[in-house]
């Protein structure tokens, strides 16, 4: 252990607690106390030697040596209070008082001690306070003025020292003042070196933190230009730091998010603390050229200098911390989708209960009511004709209940992926004509013309004939139900490439644009004006949509409110049963709004339900399939009221 380390430990023990945790403050307090304590102790040690050489001291000499106890008191004051500026002010007063006491007795302004007044402001400069330095300078000038004044007024006694002695004393004064000023200069240089070393160490510490943080730290100008950005951005965006300086980072911000990005930086430059979320383009390693990948980033920004940020006339730099929040955003989107799905399921349940309460209760009431009347035929004196009528009503209600239950069961099978497709060759024209014949009576009762246009040379197709008939029956029944008396329903079939195009059009009430977007949803019945006039579960078109998807086909709906609706179904002539039913069931469909136009087809807006997982079907020779078309039916069949 060296002497310097012992002295340093002793000085550290005297430091005020407020100065022990800051390196620069600790160095300043140590630099203030060390020379004063050592100087006072050296003066007291030299006082006996001085007495031995000089003899009995004069009163002024005793006062001067007694004054040397002041630095010890100043060190004690700083050690107890920690008031660094106050200690420098007291030191300036003590030094000025000692200089004045010596100068007054040794010739005033011409004294060798007067030169020490220059040291007073130099010593105060170590306080790093303008107020203390200004006070010390004013104090030194005031002391010099007082010495000049009392010398001019002749209030000072002129000593009998010779010129040689005055010269020696003057040289001693200049030399001692110079040495003290040199000590102050070395002290100032030491403090400056300590300050620079501490600043460099602090910068290195922050630089190390910036390099090892997972969050990205950046410094921006008010216009968004990047002056500094931490290396963590390379792992986040996959690009070097040099490419993000200037406006490189701004160029990677998503176009829609740039106004919010610049607004946050501008507000932060004015002194506010802002947080913004935006998207940044990321360069993913190994990604194909032209592939764009964006991540979500949360940026918290604030002014680098709070005082400058509050000054509206000056632009402050902004420091920002960016964090990748893509996973959180994906979680929020998944939560929103799950909530939307839950709301849709709740709405579907509500529609199901509302529909079933009518579709099941009405025929059940009819069955119960008419069966009770039959059981009481003797009391009511019912005739045979009335019993047959009631029995027929009970039978019709039972069939209606069976159709409702079958529709619900079929829809449940399709949604669960358990609907089995029995693929076999069949003649689509025969099936189409059979379905139209079944609905001809209903069309005649409603006063609707049912026109069927099916060429006799329609090829045999491979698929599920039961599902094909159900598609035709549901579409034609819907068209007849929603067509007013005197209207017309047209059913056409034609071959389009490797597909069979089935089109069912009517001149009915049509579908509103808002309802057209939801066509095909289970239990959905479009329109409020006709919802109560027509019975139904709302499963017809939903079943058609699912069956078409299972056949890997396309469903297109064109409609205009008040003018009619046209539904086009395209099915592959050769259905591939190897396609997974579950994949076909869950295939995504796209729906766009449509409006019919009789003059120009290009003006129509079409709602198309196209399964995304639809595969390209290879066209096979029709000669490989048996040809069982019905030849004895005409190509155009018209059934009118």
Q: What's the pLDDT at 118? A: 92
| Distance linking the first and last C-alpha atoms of the chain | 122
CATH number at residue 310: 3.30.450.20
- Asked if 561 and 483 sit in the same domain, the reply is yes
Between these two residues, 174 and 420, which has the higher pLDDT value? 174
Question: Are 287 and 195 found together in one domain?
Answer: no
pLDDT at 181 over 50: yes
Do both 35 and 164 map to the same domain? Answer: yes
* Range in 244-248, 379-383, 425-429 the model is least confident about: 379-383
Q: Which two tokens stand for residue 51?
A: 């007495």
Among the candidates 305, 324, 343, a domain finishes at 324
Helix extents (H) in 255-383: 258-269, 306-310, 326-359, 361-375, 377-380
In the block, which residue shows the tokens 């200089």? 99
Q: Tell me what pLDDT residue 583 has.
A: 44
The answer to whether residues 161 and 264 belong to one domain is no
Q: Which tokens go with 247?
A: 């406006």
Token output for 230: 């931490």
Q: Predicted confidence band at 580 (pLDDT cuts at 50, 70, 90)?
A: very low
pLDDT at 624 over 80: no
Cβ neighbours, 10 Å, residue 631: 8
Handedness of CA 358, 359, 361, 367 (dihedral sign): positive
User: What is the per-residue pLDDT for 134?
Assistant: 94
Looking at the structure, tell me whether residues 49 and 68 fall in a common domain.
yes
**Looking at residue 314, what is its pLDDT?**
61
Query: So what's the pLDDT on residue 257?
Result: 92
C-alpha–C-alpha distance, residues 446 and 641, integer Å: 8
Q: Is the pLDDT of residue 482 over 90?
A: no
Is residue 511 within 8 A of residue 561, CB to CB? The reply is: yes
DSSP bridge pairs for 280: 253, 295
Q: Are 384 and 490 within one domain?
A: no
| More confident position, 357 or 297 | 297
pLDDT of residue 312: 55
What rounded mean pLDDT belongs to the chain? Answer: 77
Quick check: 530 pLDDT over 60? no
| Confidence at 311, pLDDT banded by 50, 70, 90 | low
Residues whose CB is less than 8 angstroms from the CB of residue 117 and which lie 6 or more positions away in sequence, other chains included? 96, 99, 140, 143, 144
Band of residue 261 on the pLDDT scale cut at 50, 70, 90:
very high
Q: What is the pLDDT of residue 441?
A: 78
Annotate 228-271 with DSSP letters as a single string.
Answer: EE-THHHHHHSS-GGGGTBTHHHHTB-GGGHHHHHHHHHHHHTT
The domain tally of the chain equals: 4
The domain of 388 spans 333-414
The residue among 315 and 193 whose pLDDT is bigger is 193
Instruction: Identify the domain boundary among 377, 392, 414.
Output: 414
Q: Of the residues 139, 172, 206, which one is the last residue of a structural domain?
A: 206
Backbone angles phi, psi at 196, to 5 degrees: -65, -40
pLDDT of residue 1: 54
3-state SS of 524-556 is CCCCCCCCCCCCCCCCHHHHHHHHHHHCCCEEE
Pair of tokens at residue 374: 């039959």
CATH number at residue 472: 3.30.565.10
What pLDDT is attached to residue 611? 33
Is the pLDDT reported for residue 131 higher than 90? Answer: yes
Higher pLDDT, 244 or 416: 244
Span 64-114, pLDDT tens digits: 777 777 888 888 999 999 999 999 999 999 889 888 888 888 888 888 888
Q: Report which of residues 38 and 487 the model is more confident about.
A: 487
pLDDT in tens, 442-455: 888 889 999 998 88
- DSSP letters of 75-86? HHHHHHH--HHH
pLDDT at 287 over 60: no
Region 302-320 average pLDDT? 72
pLDDT of amino acid 607: 34
- Same-domain check for residues 362 and 456: no
The residue-averaged pLDDT of 471-477 equals 86
Most confident of 120-129, 210-219, 285-294, 439-448: 120-129
Mean pLDDT for 611-616 is 32
Mean pLDDT value of segment 137-156 = 88
**H and E: helices and strands count for the chain:** 21, 14
Is pLDDT of 157 > 70? no
Are the C-beta atoms of residues 124 and 135 closer than 8 Å to each other? yes
Are β-strands 488-496 and 216-220 bridged in parallel, bridged antiparallel, or unpaired?
Answer: unpaired
348 and 456 both lie in a single domain? no
Q: How far is CA 575 from CA 50, 541, 548, 572, in A?
A: 123, 21, 11, 6
SS3 122: helix
Asked if 118 and 28 sit in the same domain, the reply is yes
Average pLDDT over residues 536-551: 74
Are residues 143 and 21 located together in one domain of the fold?
yes
The secondary structure element, H or E, covering residue 516 is: helix 513-516
Q: For a pLDDT cut of 90, what percent of the chain falls above it?
A: 17
Q: Is the pLDDT of residue 630 over 90?
A: no
Mark whether 103 and 232 lie in a shared domain. no
The residues, ordered by sequence, that sit 6+ positions from 102 with a Cβ below 8 Å of its Cβ are: 60, 64, 111, 113
Q: What element of type H or E holds 218?
A: strand 216-220
Verify that 168 and 288 share a domain, yes or no. no
């Amino acid at each position: 252990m060296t002497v310097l380390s012992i002295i340093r430990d002793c000085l550290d023990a005297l430091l005020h607690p407020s100065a022990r945790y800051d390196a620069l403050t600790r160095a300043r307090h140590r630099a203030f106390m060390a020379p004063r304590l050592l100087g006072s102790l050296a003066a007291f040690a030299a006082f006996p030697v001085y007495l031995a050489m000089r003899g009995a001291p004069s009163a002024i000499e005793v006062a001067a040596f007694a004054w040397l106890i002041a630095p010890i008191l100043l060190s004690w004051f700083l050690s107890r209070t920690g008031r660094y500026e106050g200690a420098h002010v007291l030191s300036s007063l003590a030094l000025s008082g000692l200089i004045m006491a010596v100068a007054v007795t040794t010739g005033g302004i011409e004294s060798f001690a007067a030169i020490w007044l220059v040291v007073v402001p130099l010593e105060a400069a170590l306080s790093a306070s303008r107020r203390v330095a200004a006070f010390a300078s004013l104090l030194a000038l005031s002391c010099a003025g007082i010495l000049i004044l009392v010398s001019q007024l002749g209030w000072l006694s002129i000593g009998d020292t010779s010129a040689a002695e005055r010269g020696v004393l003057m040289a001693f004064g200049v030399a001692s003042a110079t040495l003290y000023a040199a000590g102050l200069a070395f002290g100032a240089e030491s403090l400056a070196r300590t300050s620079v070393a501490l600043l460099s160490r602090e910068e290195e510490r922050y630089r190390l933190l910036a390099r090892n943080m997972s969050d990205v730290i950046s410094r921006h100008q008010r216009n968004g230009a990047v002056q500094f950005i931490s290396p963590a951005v390379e792992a986040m965006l996959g690009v070097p730091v040099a490419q993000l300086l200037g406006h490189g980072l701004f160029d990677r911000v998503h176009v829609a998010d740039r106004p919010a990005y610049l607004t946050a930086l501008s507000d932060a430059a004015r002194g506010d603390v802002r947080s913004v979320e935006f998207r940044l383009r990321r360069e993913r390693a190994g990604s194909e050229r032209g592939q764009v990948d964006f991540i979500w980033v949360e940026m918290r920004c604030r002014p680098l200098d709070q005082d400058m940020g509050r000054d509206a006339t000056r632009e402050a730099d902004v420091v920002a911390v960016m964090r990748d929040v893509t996973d959180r955003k994906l979680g929020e989107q998944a939560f929103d989708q799950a909530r939307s799905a839950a709301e849709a399921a709740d709405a579907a349940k509500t529609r199901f209960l509302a529909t079933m309460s009518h579709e099941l209760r009405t025929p059940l009431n009819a069955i119960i009511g008419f069966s009770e009347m039959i059981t009481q035929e003797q009391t009511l004196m019912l005739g045979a004709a009335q019993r047959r009528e009631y029995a027929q009503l009970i039978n019709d209600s039972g069939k209606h209940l069976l159709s409702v239950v079958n529709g619900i069961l079929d829809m449940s099978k399709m949604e669960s992926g358990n609907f089995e497709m029995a693929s076999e060759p069949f003649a689509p024209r025969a099936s189409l004509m059979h379905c139209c014949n079944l609905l001809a009576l209903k069309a005649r009762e409603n006063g609707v013309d049912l026109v069927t246009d099916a060429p006799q040379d329609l090829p045999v197709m491979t698929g599920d004939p039961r599902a094909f008939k159900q598609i035709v029956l549901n579409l034609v029944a819907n068209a007849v139900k929603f067509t007013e008396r005197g209207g017309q329903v047209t059913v056409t079939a034609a071959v389009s490439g490797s597909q069979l195009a089935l089109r069912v059009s009517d001149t009915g009430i049509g579908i509103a644009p808002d309802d057209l977007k939801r066509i095909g949803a289970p239990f959905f019945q479009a329109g409020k004006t006709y919802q109560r006039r027509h019975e139904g579960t709302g499963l017809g078109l939903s079943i058609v949509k699912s069956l078409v998807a299972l056949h890997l086909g396309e469903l297109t709906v064109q409609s205009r409110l008040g003018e009619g609706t046209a539904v086009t179904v395209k099915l592959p002539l050769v259905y591939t049963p190897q396609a997974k039913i579950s994949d076909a069931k869950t295939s995504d469909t796209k729906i766009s709004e449509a409006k019919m136009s009789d003059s120009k087809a290009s003006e129509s807006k079409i709602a198309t339900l196209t399964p995304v997982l639809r595969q390209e079907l290879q066209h096979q020779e029709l000669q490989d399939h048996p040809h069982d078309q019905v030849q004895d039916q005409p190509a155009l069949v018209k059934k009118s009221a």
